[in-house]
Amino acid sequence: MSNTLNKLSIDQLQQDDDFKSRHIGPDAIEQNAMLDLLGLSSLDALIDKIVPESIRRQDVMSIQPGLTEQQSLAMLKKMASKNRVLKSCIGMGYYNTFTPPTIQRNILENPAWYTAYTPYQAEISQGRMEAMLNFQTMVADLSGLELANASMLDEATACAEAMTLCQRMSKSRGKVFFVAEDCHPQNIAVVKTRAATLDIELVIGDPLKGFDELDIFGVLLQYPATTGEVKDYRAVCDQAHEKKALVAVAADLLSLTLLTPPGDFGADVAVGNTQRFGVPLGYGGPHAAYMATRDAYKRSMPGRLIGLSIDSHGNPAYRLALQTREQHIRREKATSNICTAQALLAVMASMYAVYHGPRGLTRIAQRVQRLTAILAAGLQQSGFTLVTENYFDTITFETNEKTDEFMQLAVENGFNLRKLNDNLLSVALDETITAEDVETLWTVLAGEGCVLKVSDVDETVNPELPEEFNRQSDFLTNQVFNSHHSETDMMRYMRHLADKDLALDRAMIPLGSCTMKLNAVSELMPVSWAEFGGLHPYVPLNQAEGYQQLTQELEQMLCSATGYDAVSLQPNSGAQGEYAGLLAIRAYHDSRGEGFRNICLIPASAHGTNPASAHMAGMKVVVVATDEGGNISLEDLTAKLEKYGENLAAIMITYPSTHGVFEASVVEVCELVHQHGGQVYIDGANMNAMVGVCSPGKFGGDVSHLNLHKTFAIPHGGGGPGVGPIGVGEHLKPFLPGYAVVDNGPEQVGPVAGAPWGSAGILPISWAYIAMMGREGLIKATQLAILNANYLAQRLKDFYPILYTDPNGMVAHECILDLRPIKDQTGITVDDIAKRLIDYGFHAPTMSFPVPGTLMVEPTESESKVEIDRFCDAMIAIKKEIDDVDSGTLDKDDNPLKSAPHTVVSVSGNKWGHSYSRELAGYPVESLKVSKYWPPVGRVDNVYGDKNLVCSCPAISEYEEE
């Protein structure tokens, strides 16, 4: 071996290609073996056979050759160093915080947590669901409301969702939503964008002055207000309720440890950000926002909800509850289009609460408030007029003609303050502020001569708020928040939960449409750097030049990859991107005097977020049929275009189709729609089959969203964070989402998220993925994604019918296994097979989407032939078990499929009540004896879980034996 290496030149000995082969699973030998099985001579031949000639990229993708991991890290470090990290006291929902090191390492930087998927398979997700239940409990407790969900995308969109919840649930027939003028500006901006397409009249004003003459269905308040003022909203709530309207309050979570929570003063919904519970600022995200509401409104709550149920042995088990609210089931009738949320960040925030406990959190809050009171007292002693009377962590004071001067002086001393207007400055303090910081702020504002000492002022200051503002109720009394306060206990708790789950760090997760590929460590490391993580989203742009470079370069890379002319990185999920893309289309039609165009054509096979987003964008959904081959029926499309063409706004298609096929007719479909004046939205969820091979922006798309948490390597995190940027053609560029708070953004359409670049803190991941793969690597990844899927289909097709293939019998990057004949013949369901796969050590593929009774399998390019074979072997073994059920060798009802998954407790217990062996149950193949994942619970009872809805930690007494 060393002889051949000896013959290479120094250049050839460089490992420039290294990352490509680290990211891609199968090596050359495995690739050839798979090509052989398919009867193909090369990867190029594979692509030629599958991707229609009419849409192949003719141009060369303008992406640089791939970097090594070390080169990528060095480039990002250089970029990051252009960011200046000051201490930002800007507030507005974003605050500096200390991420407990043990949480940083054991959650944020731990693949067991960040490579996990959304917990649809409850049995293999118990760990993270417990963490999310803790999150729900934390939010419900602190907000004083009964029920909280498992995270929202950000505070601003949570406010918009609160608005639509109020509309659905209020008994008032009014069309007006009243927004307090002292809400954070980005909240107002996003709510405005949302209301514009929903026939809601927004009135912005002073809630304390009342809204007698207005026909309101809901009210939005900020608590504390954006100026820092803590106000008593009891009368406002009463007044709103008299009008049968509902009240939503955007509340600061840390303040609620001290202040009367919204639930206690009459609010119906509470929303806010949990970022200050140990999640880095990240220049705007990702952060988990929260929503809490009354139990009566539970069926109307958007987002995921974790609930407690029981498993087949009667033991407690977690599951996703009330899924009938969600887009994958209700489609355009869903409570919201939200799909991916902010799971990983919610877990972090919940662990912060577990780590600190109620006393620790209260102490932090009291310190913050005390320092604020001290700062205020010192300023007043120095002659400043304070505008805020009652406050928690933020004060506003008059600075008049010296406002800009103070802002500049603060920057020179390492602080960013907030310019409220030409005459007022705001300062927001936080967990990280020290006494020295306060003294520095005094010298900045009161001059060098200021000799005040924090310790002195502390003795005389009175931080007490009027009684009506003080929290009376307990919170976080559950055991979990009061048990893990040593680092050893905390570390073991997090490990204990992680061990229960099956994530990518243990096995392939072949979920169709989810693209669970490698999230390389070198992509993730920069996320933890302070130069990326420590920036407040609203700092002056000249402090964020590193981010400017990053976002511009990433936008350019994504344009090259997709063939579009411009990109917005703002939307923080695919669904959010769909919404932004449809808004762009609407605004485009409006600008041409064709605002009456409001029909959106959507195939029945589309992902549920498509119709849900269309509904949010104010469009009417008309379904286009698919033919028996699973392709868009051109006949039906033509008929629908005839009927609706005049009012056609857009068609939303997924390409390759959700059925896993490169439909040859796509160019024609796009042309037909364009002829009738409509725009083409191409859902980019399946981009993994296209990068470098065909460009949606060139074969007919006007706008696409991408899922960076699918195609471009951002980890799935257990259900978020996601990033859903949109790429648009030149004609739609002016209609990209605008910027909240920050200047120089697009102006035609309002913002769809609170931060201009969305979850900027994780954008380095996709930059690194693209930079390290380089042009050749990205094309190779696409080829391998398609090769792996076709190899898998080839191995399984004699056991399970492959539902849709192209005329050559090929699939794209995923395939659908039809299990309906098995169900008809033997009664074995998709669910049974999915749960039996757990016994074999696998996460099931996507169930019953887009076709009920099927499994959709997407291996991705990161899986080696060894793992794909292991999966195929498992599926083939399962088919044999099904055949045994059919022939009577295994009992029709008492068989390993119906009883799956099997826990180690049941398999090793003294009583074994099954007619098949324990070995068949737990170790159906030999290789499992070497490496075995045991699910912590048996099959979870879904009906029980929804009927007996429990969405927060049970009280201790419920765990005690009777």
Interface residues with another protein (CB under 8 A) are 118, 120-122, 296, 299, 320, 322-325, 328-330, 333, 608, 829-831, 834, 846-850, 852-853, 942-943, 946-947, 949
Phi, psi of 478 (to 5 degrees): -60, 150
Alpha-carbon span 880 to 873, nearest angstrom: 11
Give the shortest CB-310-to-another protein separation in angstroms.
Answer: 14
Element (H, E) at 639: helix 634-644
Alpha-carbon span 683 to 579, nearest angstrom: 11
**Which of residues 229 and 941 has its CB atom nearest to another protein in the complex?**
941
Dig out the tokens for 687 from the structure. 């981009």
Give the shortest CB-939-to-another protein separation in angstroms.
Answer: 11
**Which of residues 80 and 602 has its CB atom nearest to another protein in the complex?**
602
**Cβ burial, residue 303 (10 Å; 0-12/13-18/19+):** buried
- For residue 165, give the nearest of 48, 325, 30 by alpha carbon: 325
Alpha-carbon span 338 to 336, nearest angstrom: 5
Give the shortest CB-830-to-another protein separation in angstroms.
Answer: 5
Give the shortest CB-127-to-another protein separation in angstroms.
Answer: 18
**Which of residues 88 and 312 has its CB atom nearest to another protein in the complex?**
312
Which are the contacts of 144, defined by CB distance < 8 A and separation ≥ 6? 256, 260, 261, 262, 263, 264, 267, 270, 473
Give the shortest CB-322-to-another protein separation in angstroms.
Answer: 7
Give the shortest CB-80-to-another protein separation in angstroms.
Answer: 37
What are residue 425's DSSP bridge partners? Answer: 397, 419
**Which of residues 21 and 942 has its CB atom nearest to another protein in the complex?**
942
Give the shortest CB-339-to-another protein separation in angstroms.
Answer: 10
**Which of residues 106 and 829 has its CB atom nearest to another protein in the complex?**
829
Pairing of strands 87-88, 415-416: parallel
Residue with tokens 């999966």: 871
Residue with tokens 């629908």: 640
**Which of residues 169 and 781 has its CB atom nearest to another protein in the complex?**
169
Give the shortest CB-117-to-another protein separation in angstroms.
Answer: 10
**Which of residues 254 and 855 has its CB atom nearest to another protein in the complex?**
855
**Which of residues 296 and 905 has its CB atom nearest to another protein in the complex?**
296
Give the shortest CB-875-to-another protein separation in angstroms.
Answer: 16
SS (H, E, C) 108-140: HCCHHHHCCCCCCCHHHCHHHHHHHHHHHHHHH
What SS3 class is residue 240? helix
Give the shortest CB-356-to-another protein separation in angstroms.
Answer: 34
**Which of residues 198 and 435 has its CB atom nearest to another protein in the complex?**
198
Give the shortest CB-853-to-another protein separation in angstroms.
Answer: 6
**Which of residues 578 and 941 has its CB atom nearest to another protein in the complex?**
941
**Which of residues 299 and 643 has its CB atom nearest to another protein in the complex?**
299
Give the shortest CB-53-to-another protein separation in angstroms.
Answer: 33
Dig out the tokens for 816 from the structure. 């659908």
**Which of residues 225 and 606 has its CB atom nearest to another protein in the complex?**
606
**Which of residues 551 and 658 has its CB atom nearest to another protein in the complex?**
658
What are residue 250's DSSP bridge partners? Answer: 222, 271
Residue 811 near residue 789, CB atoms below 8 Å: yes
**Which of residues 293 and 783 has its CB atom nearest to another protein in the complex?**
293
Dig out the tokens for 854 from the structure. 């099927």
Give exposure, 266-279, as e/b (b: 16+ Cβ within 10 Å): bbbbbbbbbbbbbb
Alpha-carbon span 922 to 836, nearest angstrom: 10
- For residue 446, give the nearest of 373, 390, 377 by alpha carbon: 377
Which amino acid is present at 355?
Y
Phi, psi of 307 (to 5 degrees): -130, 160
**Which of residues 338 and 763 has its CB atom nearest to another protein in the complex?**
338
Give the shortest CB-672-to-another protein separation in angstroms.
Answer: 28
Alpha-carbon span 44 to 765, nearest angstrom: 28
Alpha-carbon span 663 to 805, nearest angstrom: 10
**Which of residues 169 and 461 has its CB atom nearest to another protein in the complex?**
169
Give the shortest CB-945-to-another protein separation in angstroms.
Answer: 8
**Which of residues 66 and 845 has its CB atom nearest to another protein in the complex?**
845
Alpha-carbon span 203 to 220, nearest angstrom: 10
Alpha-carbon span 435 to 456, nearest angstrom: 11
Residue 932 near residue 455, CB atoms below 8 Å: no
Give the shortest CB-324-to-another protein separation in angstroms.
Answer: 5
Residue 719 near residue 343, CB atoms below 8 Å: yes
Which are the contacts of 572, defined by CB distance < 8 A and separation ≥ 6? 153, 154, 285, 286, 342, 721, 722, 723, 724, 753, 758, 759
Residue with tokens 């099931």: 844
**Which of residues 562 and 605 has its CB atom nearest to another protein in the complex?**
605
Alpha-carbon span 535 to 96, nearest angstrom: 9
Alpha-carbon span 130 to 228, nearest angstrom: 34
- For residue 635, give the nearest of 643, 605, 698 by alpha carbon: 643
- For residue 580, give the nearest of 743, 741, 368, 745 by alpha carbon: 745
Give the shortest CB-683-to-another protein separation in angstroms.
Answer: 15
Give the shortest CB-333-to-another protein separation in angstroms.
Answer: 7
Cα→Cα distances 511→117, 515, 833, Å? 9, 7, 14
The number of beta carbons lying within 10 Å of the beta carbon of residue 60 is: 10
Alpha-carbon span 564 to 720, nearest angstrom: 26
Give the shortest CB-943-to-another protein separation in angstroms.
Answer: 5
Dig out the tokens for 608 from the structure. 């549920």
Alpha-carbon span 724 to 706, nearest angstrom: 5
